[in-house]
Amino acid sequence: MSKLLSKFLTKEIALYIFFGALTTFVGFSLYALFIFLSFGVFASNTISTFVAILFAYFTNKIWVFKSLDFSFTIVVGELAKFFAGRLFVYVLDTALLLVLVDFFMRDPIISKAITSIIVIVMNYLTSKKIVFSKKTM
């Protein structure tokens, strides 16, 4: 079991899980705050997602995928791909949230917890395969 776990739980994945958890905490905390302040589901999710994306970009760039080239063209290219990938996942997240909250009448906080799992997996795949792929640098 230990060998199987070590095969799939690489240092990169462990760091991604750690920073993904921090990113989720940042986004979830802001989302909960904005819900508490009566911003509504859409506005709360939009604002919290934007801040979480910026936080995630820098933690992923530096510590997870070790893309340490901070030249203007590299950063702009990575940011564009990162935001595009996150925008796709955001649309998916928002659609699922609206379905869970408005259609199934679920609690917005519990709904966000459910969609966060999907968001973490989808964001890792886009970051690994598209944004910080060694072949694109």
Closest alpha carbon to 130 in 96, 91, 79: 79
**pLDDT for the residue 137:** 43
**pLDDT for the residue 54:** 92
Q: For the residues 1-8, what does the mean pLDDT come to?
A: 72
Confidence grade of residue 134 (pLDDT, cut at 50, 70, 90): confident
Q: For the residues 79-85, what does the mean pLDDT come to?
A: 94
Report the distance separating Cα 115 and Cα 101, nearest Å. 11
pLDDT at 136 over 50: no
What is the per-residue pLDDT across 27-70, written as a single tens digit (0 to 9) for each? 999 999 999 999 999 999 999 989 998 999 999 999 999 999 99
Report the distance separating Cα 44 and Cα 64, nearest Å. 27
**pLDDT for the residue 135:** 64
Amino acid in the structure at residue 94: T
**DSSP for 32-68, written as a single string:** HHHHHTT--HHHHHHHHHHHHHHHHHHHIIIIIS---
The chain-wide mean pLDDT, for the chain, equals 90
Q: For the residues 4-29, what does the mean pLDDT come to?
A: 88
What is the per-residue pLDDT across 61-75, written as a single tens digit (0 to 9) for each? 999 999 999 999 999
What is the per-residue pLDDT across 83-118, written as a single tens digit (0 to 9) for each? 999 889 989 999 999 999 999 988 999 999 999 888
